[in-house]
Amino acid sequence: MRNKFTITISDVKGSRHYTIDDIIKRVIAIFLIFIALLFAGGVIYITVLNHKVEQLDNKKNELQSELDDKIAYYEVIKSKIEEIESIIGIVHEEDDNTTHEARLSNITLTTVQQSLLLQFIPNGEVAKHNGLSDKFGMRKHPIRGTDEFHSGLDFRTPLQTPIYAPALGIVEYAGNSESSGYGFLVIVDHGFGFKSYYAHLDKKMVVKVGQFVKKGDHIANSGNTGLSSGPHLHYEVRFLGRALNPINFVNWDLNNFSQIFEKETNVQWDSLLEVMSILLANKQNQQ
């Protein structure tokens, strides 16, 4: 048996003897336990870090998704702005650095101008009806039987159907115009060269000459007076005395604002829009 070193430790409880081998074994055991704990702690720490990394990746993906949605939404808004600008005639150079906020402001201003124009120039339906009995243009007169130019639209309307002003204006005429074949007639002067005519009306007038009316006001009731083959409303829109096709004005609103400029080329719309812009600018300066 080899010689072994023995260490004796004495205290009040007595003496204990330890060999060097035992000490080494205990030190190794403690070291191994330390290594094991360190390894376990490292595993736990790495697991926690991996979880944090996964959370950060998920957050990154969410933020990226939100960013992609924002970019897509921005592109849609940009496209809509360009589309609206194209419709209403706003042109930008390629190197134009105008912000989208400013461009939106211009569009909003232009929309206000459009709304203002639609308050002055006849637009929209003037009465509830059951379709057209005669269109604008050449036709065979239903009573005379001759080929004649029809200067308006004939709407099928029951007697006493209310008729409404399609824009601001002043009543220029309200009464019987039997000699013209119109029967009882109302003429509204809307200014800027535009007038609207309503013929074959009921004999009882709703408005008086000189009365100011606004869009949507009740101005007459349909009838069957004058040279008429049956109850209906004859509706005309004239510019500087020249008859225009009323259907273009009946179908005109903010949703198809630019179509009137393409279909009614006899009106100098550019100068009219310029006047409207001046009116709007003066109104804003007064506020």
Q: How many C-alpha atoms does 278 have within 13 Å on its Cβ side?
A: 6
- The per-residue pLDDT for 1 is 45
* Residue 2 predicted with pLDDT over 80: no
Looking at the fold, whether 136 and 248 belong to one and the same domain comes out as yes
In which band, very low, low, confident or very high, does the pLDDT at 133 lie, cut at 50, 70 and 90? confident
Domain of 58? 18-88
Based on the fold, state whether residues 163 and 232 are members of the same structural domain.
yes
User: What pLDDT does 16 receive?
Assistant: 65
Per the structure, the count of domains in the chain is: 2
Shared-domain flag, residues 70 and 137: no
Q: Is 207 a member of any domain?
A: yes
Task: Say yes or no: 139 and 240 in one domain.
Answer: yes
Average pLDDT over residues 240-260: 92
Residue 160 maps to a domain: yes
In this predicted model, what pLDDT tens digit does every residue of 22-31 receive, in sequence order?
Answer: 667 777 788 8
Residue 146 and residue 50 in one domain? no
Structure-block tokens of residue 105 = 């402001």
Answer positive or negative: Cα dihedral of 196, 202, 203, 205.
negative
CATH of the domain at 233: 2.70.70.10
pLDDT of residue 12 exceeding 80: no
pLDDT at 254: 86
In whole angstroms, what is the distance from residue 21 CA to residue 5 CA? Answer: 8
Token pair in block for residue 126: 């003037």
Are 148 and 77 members of one domain? no
Q: Is the pLDDT of residue 281 over 80?
A: no
Contacting residues for 224 by C-beta, under 8 A, at least 6 apart: 159, 183, 200, 230, 231, 232
pLDDT higher at 238 or 286: 238
Per cent of the chain over pLDDT 90 is 38
Inside any domain, residue 104 = no
Report whether pLDDT(140) > 70. Answer: yes
To the nearest whole number, what is the mean pLDDT of the chain?
A: 83
User: Would 53 be classed as within a structural domain?
Assistant: yes
Residue 281 lies in a domain: no
201-215 pLDDT, tens digit each: 999 999 999 999 999
SS3 content of the chain, % helix, strand, coil (to 5): 45, 25, 30
Query: What pLDDT, on the 0 to 100 scale, is given for residue 153?
Result: 93
- Most confidently modeled range among 87-91, 114-118, 195-199, 272-276: 195-199
pLDDT for position 154: 95
Q: What pTM did the predictor assign?
A: 0.62
What does the radius of gyration of the chain's CA atoms come to, in whole angstroms? 44
